[in-house]
């Protein structure tokens, strides 16, 4: 197969726009995950202050994911119709206000409500990012930028205990929510002020040829509810939904419970747990970047973009399963953290490859829609993970909770392998 994308020079103006878009997506993505992870970092303080059980904390940790998952379906369609600039800008404002409100609550019920609104506001982030990448990058070169914007997820989680633990210890857990909420409002202004989608009429012939490489040059049909609903008639859609459920479930076991797990099961003090919890997510940051680059390399030599990107997803998920088992069973804290670090590296590699897979499987007019459907499945898993983990840990221990996550991730890998085999055709 000819490697056109590898040899084609990116036009200078396109290159500048690509760089700006990715910088903005990484910044907003880091804030997005700082806000999600604040509750996990402040877990012990909030439980003590509001007198919550492990089961209640599991419900509180999951409240975000339920609203986030349910909003994926309409948000993906809205991103395809309205565009990422305004939808992500409005989402930033809403989720930042909800995050700040989390620092003001004094009851379990009001905290749950703040987390639900946080999930609604954060819903446009990744469907919008998928749309931005499909707008500014040609088909076979989307793995690397997808890895770059996905790297914001583990980077935000890694920075959360490093940045927020000292703030909480110096002031209170309330200020962690106030500060991160304020950062989001600033980011909203910057995003809306600087980001623009490409306008084909203003592009040169060389710029249009670069962006159109590897796909049909016919104009994509206008989006409609019927074409969105038609995606569910294809088994690839269900394979991506179920597969991402397994991937995100296991990732969110660690994302929501890792600091609490290290404190409760591994008996680390707050400073040790904060440092140890940051290491796996720094590895996850590297995983997203490496996977994006590797996914592009594999895809250029695969029989099709779908095949190349699917193989990368499945291999990463099977690795997550393999290293979660010793992470749950070993006695050494050092070995456990090392295994968890590998799992998080692979989890973020899998996530980056899954989002780039969406851009290869989806019809041109429905890239954000298919990505959002996949993300909907993922965050059903993300919503279930903290609840089930909390109740299993409360009833037995964290060991069966981690092994349950490994089993669910294995089933997700098999869904990708056997259901996602060809691209979905455009619906006129």
Residue 209, CB-side half-sphere exposure with 13 Å CA sphere: 8
CA distances 231 to 24, 137, 240, 313, 341, Å, are 30, 23, 11, 21, 35
Mean pLDDT of 138-159: 86
Model confidence at 5: pLDDT above 60:
no
**Interatomic CA distance for residues 61 and 117, integer angstroms:** 13
Q: CA-based angle 407:235:138, to the nearest 5?
A: 100
370 or 428, which is more confident? 370
pLDDT of residue 215: 60
| Three-class DSSP category at 398 | helix
pLDDT of residue 93: 98
Residue partners of 87: CB distance under 8 A and separation at least 6: 75, 78, 79, 124, 128
Model confidence at 65: pLDDT above 60:
yes
Model confidence at 51: pLDDT above 70:
yes
Q: Which structure tokens are listed for 360? A: 């290869």
Model confidence at 1: pLDDT above 50:
no
Task: Pick left, alpha or beta for residue 363 (phi over 0 → left; psi -120 to 50 → alpha; otherwise beta).
Answer: beta
Share of the chain above pLDDT 90, in %: 55
Mean pLDDT of 297-301: 74
pLDDT of residue 21: 96
pLDDT of residue 200: 80
pLDDT of residue 4: 41
Q: Is the pTM of this model over 0.75?
A: yes
Confidence of residue 2 (pLDDT cuts 50, 70, 90): very low
Model confidence at 96: pLDDT above 70:
yes
Is the distance from CB of 72 to CB of 370 less than 8 angstroms? no
Confidence of residue 73 (pLDDT cuts 50, 70, 90): confident
The owner of tokens 């085999």 is: 421
Model confidence at 219: pLDDT above 70:
no
The pLDDT tens digits for 127-138 are 999 899 989 998
Mean pLDDT of 136-141: 85
**Interatomic CA distance for residues 38 and 275, integer angstroms:** 15
Share of the chain above pLDDT 70, in %: 95
Give the chain's mean pLDDT.
Answer: 89
Mean pLDDT of 80-103: 95
Q: Treating both helix axes as pointing N-terminal to C-terminal, what angle do 235-264 and 333-361 enclose, rounded to 10 degrees? A: 160
The pLDDT tens digits for 236-286 are 999 999 999 999 999 989 988 887 889 888 988 877 887 888 899 889 989
Q: CA-based angle 426:125:102, to the nearest 5?
A: 145
**Interatomic CA distance for residues 352 and 29, integer angstroms:** 13
Residue partners of 40: CB distance under 8 A and separation at least 6: 61, 160, 255, 256, 257, 258, 259, 260
pLDDT of residue 220: 55
The pLDDT tens digits for 11-46 are 999 999 999 999 999 999 999 999 998 998 898 899
Model confidence at 79: pLDDT above 80:
yes
């Amino acid at each position: 197969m000819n490697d056109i994308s590898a040899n084609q020079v990116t036009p200078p103006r396109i290159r500048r726009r690509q760089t700006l878009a990715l910088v903005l997506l990484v910044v907003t993505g880091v804030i997005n995950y700082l806000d999600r992870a604040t509750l996990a970092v402040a877990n012990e303080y909030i439980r003590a202050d509001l007198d919550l059980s492990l089961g209640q904390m599991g419900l509180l940790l999951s409240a975000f994911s339920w609203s986030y998952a349910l909003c994926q379906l309409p948000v993906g369609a809205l991103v395809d119709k309205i565009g990422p600039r305004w939808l992500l800008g409005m989402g930033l404002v809403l989720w930042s206000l909800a995050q700040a409100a989390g620092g003001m609550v004094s009851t379990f019920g009001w905290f749950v409500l703040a987390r639900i609104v946080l999930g609604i506001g954060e819903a446009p982030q990744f469907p919008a990012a998928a749309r931005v990448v499909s707008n500014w990058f040609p088909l076979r070169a989307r793995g690397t930028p997808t890895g770059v914007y996905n790297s914001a997820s583990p980077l935000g989680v890694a920075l959360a205990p490093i940045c927020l633990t000292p703030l909480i210890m110096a002031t209170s857990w309330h200020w962690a929510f106030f500060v991160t909420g304020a950062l989001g409002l600033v980011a909203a202004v910057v995003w809306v002020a600087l980001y623009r989608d490409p306008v084909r009429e203003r592009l040169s012939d060389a710029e249009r040829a670069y962006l159109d490489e590897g796909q049909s040059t016919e104009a994509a049909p206008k989006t409609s509810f019927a074409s969105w609903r038609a995606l569910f008639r294809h088994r690839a859609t269900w394979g991506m939904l179920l597969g991402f459920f397994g991937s995100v479930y296991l990732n969110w076991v660690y994302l929501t419970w890792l600091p609490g797990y290290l404190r409760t099961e591994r008996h680390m003090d707050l400073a040790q747990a904060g440092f140890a919890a940051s290491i796996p997510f720094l590895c996850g940051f590297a995983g997203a970047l490496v996977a994006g680059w590797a996914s592009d390399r594999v895809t250029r030599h695969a029989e099709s973009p779908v095949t190349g990107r699917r193989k990368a997803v499945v291999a990463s998920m099977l690795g997550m399963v393999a290293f979660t088992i010793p992470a749950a069973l070993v006695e050494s804290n050092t070995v456990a953290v090392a295994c968890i670090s590998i799992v998080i590296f692979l989890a973020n590699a899998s996530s980056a490859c899954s989002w780039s897979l969406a851009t290869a499987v989806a019809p041109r007019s429905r890239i954000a829609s298919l990505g959002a459907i996949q993300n909907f499945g993922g965050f059903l898993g993300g919503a279930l993970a903290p609840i089930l983990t909390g109740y299993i840990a409360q009833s037995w221990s964290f060991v069966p909770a981690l092994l349950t996550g490994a089993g669910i991730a294995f089933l997700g890998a098999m869904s990708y392998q056997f259901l996602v085999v060809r691209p979905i055709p455009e619906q006129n």
